[in-house]
Amino acid sequence: MSEADILSARDVPLGGPRSMTVRRTLPQRARTLIGAWCFVDHYGPDDVSETGGMDVAPHPHTGLQTVSWLFSGEIEHRDSLGSHAYVRPGELNLMTGGHGISHTEVSTARTTVLHGVQLWVALPDEHRHAARDFQHHAPDPVRLDGARARVFLGTLAGETSPVRTFTPLLGAELVLDPHATVTLAVDAAFEHGLLVDRGRVRMADTVVEQAELGYLDTGRTTLTLTNETDTEARVILLGGTPFGEEIVMWWNFIGRSHEDIAQAREDWMTGDRFGVVKGYDGDPLPAPELPNVPLKPRGRVR
Ligand code: MN
Looking at residue 14, its pLDDT comes to 80
Residues with Cβ within 8 Å of residue 68, at least 6 apart in sequence? 75, 77, 87, 92, 93, 95, 105, 116, 117, 118
The Cα 55–Cα 126 span in angstroms is 33
pLDDT band at 15 (very low <50, low <70, confident <90, very high): low
Q: How confident is the model at residue 188, as a pLDDT?
A: 98
Average pLDDT on 170-195 reads 98
At 139 the three-state DSSP class reads: coil
Per-chain mean pLDDT for the chain: 95
Q: What angle do CA 192, 198, 202 make, to 5 degrees?
A: 50
**Which stretches of 106-221 are DSSP H helices?**
none
- Calculate how far, in angstroms, residue 239's C-alpha sits from the geometric centre of ligand 1: 21
Q: How far is the CA of 103 from the centre of ligand 1 (A)?
A: 6
Q: What's residue 177's pLDDT?
A: 98
Distance from the CA of 302 to the center of ligand 1, in angstroms?
A: 26
Q: CB 170: neighbour CB atoms within 10 A?
A: 24
Q: Give the pLDDT confidence of 75-117 residue by residue, as tens digits.
A: 999 999 999 999 999 999 999 999 999 999 999 999 999 999 9
Sequence length of the chain is 302
Which pLDDT belongs to residue 52? 87
Query: Counting beta carbons within 10 angstroms of the beta carbon of residue 162, is it exposed (0 to 12), middle (13 to 18) or buried (19 or more)?
Result: exposed
Tell me how far the alpha carbon of residue 65 lies from the centroid of ligand 1, in angstroms: 9
Where does residue 145 rank: exposed (0-12), middle (13-18), buried (19+ CB within 10 A)? exposed
| Residues 196, 200, 204, 206, CA torsion sign | positive
Q: pLDDT at residue 302 above 60?
A: no
Buried b (16+ CB within 10 A) or exposed e, 222-234: ebebbbeeeeebb
* pLDDT tens digits, one per residue of 18-75: 678 999 999 999 999 999 999 999 999 999 998 888 999 999 999 999 999 999 999 9
228 CA distance to ligand 1 middle (Å): 34
For ligand 1, the distance from its centroid to the CA atom of residue 61, given in whole angstroms, is: 7
Q: Containing H/E element for 270?
A: helix 258-270
In this prediction, what percent of the chain has a pLDDT beyond 70?
A: 97
In 101-161, alpha helices (H)? none
Q: How far is the CA of 109 from the centre of ligand 1 (A)?
A: 20
Check pLDDT > 60 for residue 16.
no
Q: What is the pTM of this model?
A: 0.96
Say how many Å lie between the CA of residue 252 and the centre of ligand 1.
7
Fold type of domain 5-240: Jelly Rolls (2.60.120)
Q: What percent of the chain has pLDDT over 90?
A: 92
Centre of ligand 1 to C-alpha 2, Å, is 35
